[in-house]
Structures are given as structure tokens and as C-alpha cells.
Structure 1
Amino acid sequence: MDDQTEPVVIEPPFASAAAMQPESAPIWKATEGQIVNARWIFLSLIGFWLLLPVLWTAWRMIRTACHTYSLTTQRIRERSGVLAVQVDELELYRVKDIAVLQPLVQRLLGRGQIVLLTSDRSTPRVVLNAIPAQAKVADLIRAHVEQCRVQKGVREID
């Protein structure tokens, strides 16, 4: 007779199939647009003969290129930093409101901002800056927020 038995897995009572769903690959991914560096690029062109403005502009452009946003079915990730990387995550079910802003310069270049008001204590306001096709991305986020709330059974009570 074999004394080996299969291990018993005990799930906590709050764990549901939706809550235990594995993270999916990014649905949408973008970097912060270089338009945020427009004034530094302009100053660098004026003072191109000075080394400091050119180096500062180059550093800001590298830093902006390393600032990425990604959306999965359950969260939004913001990754920033060149030498020391910081990753902030926001669970989609915490999003309360979505606003789309288009500052003049960004609007002229087809970019804009998406502002998320959340119930998260550490980041109550999340700004996705210089995003292409911001209205479509905001609609995509909104659809996944609703889907995530339904899956997790989350309701907002004010």
C-alpha cells in the first residue's frame, strides 16, 4: 500500500475564480510623449553652443523615453526611471472617474492626458501624460474598469 497522499489545497473563503485569475499580457502600452520636453528642446536649440542645456535636454529625453504606461485586464502599470526604476500599479477596480485633458501643445500634436481619480490611498490621482489617441485609450480603460468590477463584485458606495 502506498502511503503517499495528494496534497490538499485549502482556498480562503474570499478567493473566487475571478480574483485568482492570472495576469494577462498588456492590452495597451505606450511611452510618455517627448512633447513634454518641448520647452527644453527649444531652449537647447537657442543655447546649443552651451553644453549644459544640451545635456539637460538629452537627460530629460532619455528619462521621458523610459517612462512607460501599460494596461492589463486587472491593473495599470506606470514604470519610470533610468538608473533606479520605480513601478507603480493601480488596480482597475479602484478607478472612480476618468477625465481626458488636451493642453494646447499636446492637442496640436495629437496627444493628451488621461486623469484617473481613484480610491487608492497612496495615489488618489493618476495622470497618464502625453498619450496618443487619449479618447480611445480612456474608453478602453473604462471598459476594463467595469469588467474588473463585475468580476470582483466591487460596488461603489458614496
Structure 2
Amino acid sequence: MSEEKIVWSGTPSQIVNIGVFILCLLTCFLIVPIFYALWKYIVVKCTKYVITTERIKITTGVFSTQTDYLELYRINDLTFEQPFLLRIFSLGNLKLITSDTSTPELTLQAIPASEELQNEIRKHIETQRDKKRARVVDFT
């Protein structure tokens, strides 16, 4: 029996907050934008993704945290998105469509080397489906 191994672990890039940071810089004479920018920074920093060979673990929250586990074999579709701003910084989003009731759609935001990670996840999805003898059936 194979042991679960971490494939990738990380947090979203702070690039997702660039609009907030620029706005706060332009209005820095006010004290409130500084705290807003700091809050947005902390929220992104406290978002953690851990991708293993069997599941994806998403931990969010600053004061109280919520951890959601998504089994890889439940992922139906995996899409790579690279908006212009993220492309400049060699980042991308991975959008997952799942059969999980608690998380039917999940986006891993501003991930480095996300295209390579997408291929790695896809490989482990197929491995888990074979291991659990699970297949996706589309009733359309």
C-alpha cells in the first residue's frame, strides 16, 4: 500500500492583492487603507494549500481556521487560467470542478508553476481513480 506524499504545498501569491495595494498607496494619507491592505495581506498569507498524492487540503482563516479536504478522485475537471497580471509574474490559477458536495468548485489562486502542477495533479487523479475503482459518469 502506497503512503500518501505531499506533491506541493504553498500559499497564493500576494499579486492577487495588487489592486488593493496600489489603491492604498494612492490614498496613503488616510490611515484606514493601510489597515485594509494589511488585512488583505494577512488573509492571503493565512490561506494554505497542500496537495498530496490522495487529496487537496485547503486551510483558510485568520482568527479561526477552516480546513477542507478534497479527495483527488472526486475532481471531474481541471482548468488552467492565466490572466494577464498573473502571466507577467509566471503565476496561474487552477480551477477544479468536483463532485464533492461541500466544494463543487475550487480555485487555487496565484500558484507558481501552475501548469506543471496541473499535469502532476491530473496524473494523481487518474492513479486515485484506478486505486478506488471510481469513474466519472456524465448524464447529459
Give the alignment's TM-score, normalised by structure 1: 0.83
Alignment partner for residue 48 of structure 1, among 28, 35, 48? 28
Larger fraction in strand: 2
Aligned to 1:27, the other structure's residue is in SS state: strand
Deviation at 1:156, TM superposition (A): 1.8
Larger radius of gyration: 1
Stretches of structure 2 lacking an aligned partner (at least 5 in a row) = none
Secondary structure of the equivalent of 1:154? coil
Structure 1's consecutive aligned runs of 4 or more residues displaced over 4 angstroms after TM superposition are none
Give the match for residue 118 of structure 1.
98
Counterpart residue type for residue 47 of structure 1 = T
Q: Secondary structure at the match of 1:56?
A: helix
1:127 pairs, out of 107, 111, 116, with: 107
**Corresponding pairs, count:** 138
**Structure 1 position 91 matched with structure 2 position 76:** no
Report the equivalent of 2:131. Answer: 151
Letter in 1 for 2:14: Q
2:118 equivalent to 1:141: no
TM-score (norm 2): 0.94
User: Root-mean-square deviation (CA), in Å?
Assistant: 1.2
Residue of structure 2 equivalent to 1:10: none
Q: Deviations over 1:103-125 (max 9, x none)?
A: 11111111110001111122111
